[in-house]
Each structure stands twice: as structure tokens, then as C-alpha cells.
Amino acid sequence: MVSAGDFRNGVTFEWDGKVMQVLEFQHVKPGKGAAFVRAKVKNVITGAVIETSFNPSDKFESAFVERRDMEYSYNDGDLYYFMDQETYDLVPVNRSILSDSFKFVKENTMCNVQSYKGKVFNVDPPNFVDLVVSATDPGHKGDTATNVLKPATVETGAEVKVPLFISEGEKIRIDTRSGEYMERTKG
């Protein structure tokens, strides 16, 4: 059990059947009336954020959100399979749970899988991935001076905007959070 008076950033608790995480909190002691806790909390399943106030003596059931690094193995239709590195069990995850940034993840990539009571609700890919450009228009001599971008398809099938000097077969680093080209890499 956790009381509202013990709230700290990052604390997870159950509230009305939902798993909530404290983003910000403030203990308020007005001149008149009882003290209260003003908090900004996020539903970890849906991502919805609300601001509300609690009585400091309100008690909530603690919620343990499990975060594990798992290796993306393969997909079969709408099911994507992740392998637990300790038990070697395959965990199926439905496509609807994966974010748009998952289009940059290739097989054998480590991802952070988050679950509550054994039910997976989120998969975070790594922030940066190195991928090979599989298709793009050819670059020309002198294309390095401008900030003009062209479309390129990477080995996972995702499309990204790259500078004009990038050509097919080159390895590039992509920020999965924004889908932007970061730099050319070796290898």
C-alpha cells in the first residue's frame, strides 16, 4: 500500500482499476482547511495524463510494472514474438500494442517490454538503430553543400528522409522516436 502523502515521481499505484504513475506531485498546506496532495498522474496503459488532488491519507494498492529487455525474434501476421533472455520463452505481442517507431526495428534487436500482471501493454524500441539503405535515388557529385533531403527505404521497409549524398548500401543511424536520419555509420 502507498498513501498519497508518500507520493514521489515514478511511483506506480492502482486507482479505480487503472495503473497510474506519478509524474509530478506537490504537498499543499493552505492557511485554512486541510492539507492535500496535488498530483499529475499518467495511466501507464493508455498514456492519458490527468491532474487531480488527493487527501494525504488516501491509500492505494502498489502496482508493480515489470520492465524487461527482450529480443525481437520474428513476426507471424499480427503477432510479434519477443524472447526473454533469461528463460528463452517467446512472448507474443499483438501488432496493435506496438508504436509507429517499431517500423525501424529488425530481427534480433533488444527492446524494452513493459507488462503488468503478465499482460504486455508497451514495447519500447531502442532510441537509435543502425540500418542499411536498401533503395534511394543515386547521389551526385556536389550534393553535400545543401540541406536538401530525399526519401530512402531502409532494410526494414520503412521510409526515412536522408541527405542527397547517401546512396544504396550505406549504413545510417536513425532516431526511432522521431524517425529522423542522424548520421552515416561504418560497417
Confirm if 142 and 105 have CB atoms less than 8 A apart: no
Residue-level pLDDT at 185: 86
Confirm if 23 and 50 have CB atoms less than 8 A apart: no
Distance CA 41, CA 50 (A): 6
E-assigned strand segments in 139-179: 149-154, 159-163, 171-175
Of the candidates 125, 147, 150, the residue with the CA atom closest to the CA atom of residue 139? 150
**Domains and their CATH numbers in the chain:** 2-62 (2.30.30.30), 65-124 (2.40.50.140), 128-185 (2.40.50.140)
pLDDT digits (tens, 9 = 90+) for 25-58: 998 888 888 889 999 998 887 778 999 999 888 9
Handedness of CA 166, 182, 132, 149 (dihedral sign): negative
Q: 3-state DSSP call for residue 26?
A: strand
Distance CA 48, CA 44 (A): 8
Residue-level pLDDT at 172: 92
Residue-level pLDDT at 145: 60
* pTM over cut 0.85: no
Residue-level pLDDT at 81: 93
Q: Which residues of the chain have pLDDT under 70?
A: 139-146, 187
From residue 81, alpha-carbon distances to 62, 78, 96, 112, 114 in Å are: 29, 10, 13, 13, 14
Residue-level pLDDT at 146: 65
Q: Provide CB contacts within 8 A for 98, sequence distance 6+.
A: 80, 123
Distance CA 92, CA 90 (A): 6
Distance CA 182, CA 148 (A): 14
